[in-house]
Structures are given as C-alpha cells and as structure tokens.
Structure 1
Amino acid sequence: MSLVFIGIDPNTGDHESPTVWVDPEAGELVFQGWKPDPELRAECAAFELPGHAVGIPEHEAVIRIRARMVPMIREACDVAERAAGGLH
C-alpha cells in the first residue's frame, strides 16, 4: 500500500494531527481525526437506516474532522476518483 498524503489540519498544535490521505490502489480515503465523546458515539450507534443494523461494528470507527478540512477532503475525493478511473 502506498498512501498519497493530501493534507493536515493547519490549525492543529503539537499534540493533534487530523490528516487526510488517499489509498489509490484500494480507491479509499483515509482519515485521522479525533475520537468522539461517548455521547456522539452513542448517537451515531443509535442511528437507524432501513436495511442496516443499528450500532457500530467492532471493525469500524467514528471520527471527527474539522469543517475547515473540507478542501482537503474534496482534493482527496478527486485523487481517489482519478485513481479509480472515474465513477463506477
């Protein structure tokens, strides 16, 4: 796997580093962010969608990303889409 670095939140200090990468081989976005507090995690876990189980599977995570990182996320989407040869 060879990740493509897109960006890091420029407003973070020495002990924080929300980051966006793309895995072009898998066609996936990769995020590093803050863990949610228990209340947010519980709210996400309780969200119901038709055809989906309630809860957060053990192999999945909820993360928080600051809205100021949206331009990096857009760039990551473009990189992933180009790597995947467009939408399927």
Structure 2
Amino acid sequence: MALHMLGKDPNSPDGDSPTVYYDDETDNYLIQGWKVPDQDRRSQLNLPDHEDVVEFPRRMMQFFPEVNGGPDAHAQGAS
C-alpha cells in the first residue's frame, strides 16, 4: 500500500491537519481531520461500530482529484 498525501489544510494553525491522502492500492481516500465529539451531531449519523466520522473544512475539497481534473488526476498529481 502506498499512501500519497494530496494536500494539507493551508489554514491549519500548526500545519498538520486536516490532510487528504490517496491510497493507490485500494483506490480510496483517507481523510485526517478533527474528531467529532459532539453527541448531538453524532446521533444524527448512522455509524456502525466499525466506522467513525471526522470533520474537515470545505476548502479541503480542492485536493480531491475529481474536483481538479477528473477521476484519474490522482495518478498524475500524487507522489
């Protein structure tokens, strides 16, 4: 498995998170974001025990290749 960092939040105060990654083995994205501890918000989601949810800002959508040039753009821009 090779994870490719596609982008970090340019407005992150410490430069570490949120971050978007692409996994070239599974063809899936991994999102590092903020935990959602608010039980009122979590209760509105249907989360099975084996799943969780993270929050990331809308400005991070720019790092998804499908937004920036099509579904195969990750193969060209990822390193």
TM range (shorter): 0.7 to 0.9
1:52 aligns with: none
Distance in 1 (alpha carbons) for counterparts of 2:42 and 2:16: 20
Distance in 1 (alpha carbons) for counterparts of 2:10 and 2:2: 23
The structure 1 segments of at least 4 consecutive aligned residues displaced by more than 6 Å after TM superposition are none
Report the secondary structure of 2:45's partner residue: helix
Letter in 2 for 1:43: Q
Among 54, 63, 72, the residue aligned to 1:63: 54
1:43 aligns with: 44
Letter in 1 for 2:61: V
**CA 1:39–1:15: 2 relative to 1, 3 Å:** farther
Distance in 1 (alpha carbons) for counterparts of 2:19 and 2:52: 15
1:11 aligns with: 11
> Which structure has greater helix proportion?
1
Paired-residue identity, %: 36
Give the TM-score normalised by structure 2.
0.75
CA RMSD, Structure 1 to Structure 2 (Å)? 2.1
Note the residue ranges of structure 1 that are not aligned, 5 or more in a row. 46-55, 84-88
Distance in 1 (alpha carbons) for counterparts of 2:15 and 2:63: 20
Q: What is the aligned residue count?
A: 70
Distance in 1 (alpha carbons) for counterparts of 2:15 and 2:5: 19
Note the residue ranges of structure 2 that are not aligned, 5 or more in a row. none
Q: Whose radius of gyration is greater, 1 or 2?
A: 1
